Amino acid sequence: MSGSYRAFLRHLHIGEPVSGAKIAADMGVSRVAVWKAMESLRKRGVKIAAGRDGYLLEEPADLLFPDDLERLFAGARIGHRVLYREQADSTQDMARKAAEGGCEDGTLVVAETQTSGRGRLGRRWDSDRGGLWFTVVIRPRGPPSVVQVYSYMASLSVREAVAELVPERPWLKWPNDVFIGGRKLSGVLTEVAASTDEVRYVLVGVGLNVNNPVGSVGEAYSATSVKEAAGRFVDRNDLLASVLSRMNTRYEQCERDGPAAVIGAYRRSCSTIGKKVRVAYGDGSMEGLAVGIDETGALEVRSGGRLTKVHSGDVTHLRVSAGG
């Protein structure tokens, strides 16, 4: 859809009709162009009523406008190319196909809904309309040992972008869950295609509950959304742009100076550090004190005088303090 239809949407309001003639005059287009835009928006699910006094919205319009994103991020690493679907099985799978087909570094794959959205550790990820479900294809220069940094880049960016909209401070649980209070708001799934010494691509998949109804996230946590935390409907285009712009800054920083700064920022924001934790991995588990994040992004857990480096797994905070 043409990005300019978003401009038509800005002229529509709830409970306040605006005539086609006024929209046409304000936008400098014909009334036929207004009518076509309304039809096209309706086809995409926007509830527009038309009465004697003109057009009005029956509920807030909640649509992504990929052309606008491409325009906004033209010249940037992430988001200059957007592959968009109303419905995808999983944006991870779409992104993998695109990556195997040679898509550019920073290609963004985004869908309004996913039928087989997946989370970490084989969990299901509910992906109803109204959330942000996207995957960024990264083709980094670094070695496979530091790919964790690209998922930190995403969760840090989500946390900061959301923090601008909600009164309560979001916090990060290792590796990439964003929580508000005790409820999960967002998660990151990172998948890598690599040989022993070279990364071919990294798929950084982000699920962020925004205006979608929330229940549980997979089986593990109760969930919340930005709308719930902010107490109002949130424009997903603006929120996605805010996340992507922060990811771009961090990606450039990584490419320029290496991963240390992003890992440092993550270390300072991750509420798992300093907590007693249980780490479940494969068929085993361990308990200990989470003491740090090393230079590759691994979680360091001290237990009985031994320091274990955890690269993946499921972490439970055993001693809950303020913030989690």
Tell me which residues touch ligand BTN (CB under 6 A): 90-92, 114, 117-120, 123, 125, 127, 133-135, 177, 187-189, 205-207
State the Cα torsion 257-262-263-268 to the nearest 10°.
130
Q: What are 47's two structure tokens?
A: 């509830």
Report, in Å, the least distance between residue 116 CB and ligand BTN: 7
Measure the CA–CA gap between 156 and 158, rounded to whole angstroms: 6
Report, in Å, the least distance between residue 132 CB and ligand BTN: 8
Q: In this chain, which residue has its C-beta nearest to ligand BTN?
A: 187
Report, in Å, the least distance between residue 94 CB and ligand BTN: 9
Instruction: Between 20 and 131, name the residue whose CB sits nearer to ligand BTN.
Output: 131
Report, in Å, the least distance between residue 39 CB and ligand BTN: 30
Q: 3-class DSSP state for residue 27?
A: helix
Instruction: Between 21 and 121, name the residue whose CB sits nearer to ligand BTN.
Output: 121
- Residue 26 phi/psi, 5-degree rounding, is -60, -35
Report, in Å, the least distance between residue 220 CB and ligand BTN: 8
Instruction: Between 90 and 248, name the residue whose CB sits nearer to ligand BTN.
Output: 90
Integer CA distances (angstroms), 281 to 4, 285, 290, in order: 48, 6, 15
Report, in Å, the least distance between residue 123 CB and ligand BTN: 5
Q: What angle do CA 181, 324, 167 make, to 5 degrees?
A: 35
Where are the strands (E) in 54-131, listed by range? 54-57, 82-88, 108-114
Instruction: Between 70 and 89, name the residue whose CB sits nearer to ligand BTN.
Output: 89
CB 26 within 8 A of CB 11: yes
Helix locations, 128-283, DSSP H = 148-163, 226-230, 236-257, 260-269
Instruction: Between 48 and 204, name the residue whose CB sits nearer to ligand BTN.
Output: 204
Report, in Å, the least distance between residue 198 CB and ligand BTN: 24
Instruction: Between 106 and 117, name the residue whose CB sits nearer to ligand BTN.
Output: 117
Instruction: Between 34 and 186, name the residue whose CB sits nearer to ligand BTN.
Output: 186
Q: Identify residue 270 by its one-letter amino acid code.
A: C
Q: What angle do CA 62, 93, 138 make, to 5 degrees?
A: 85
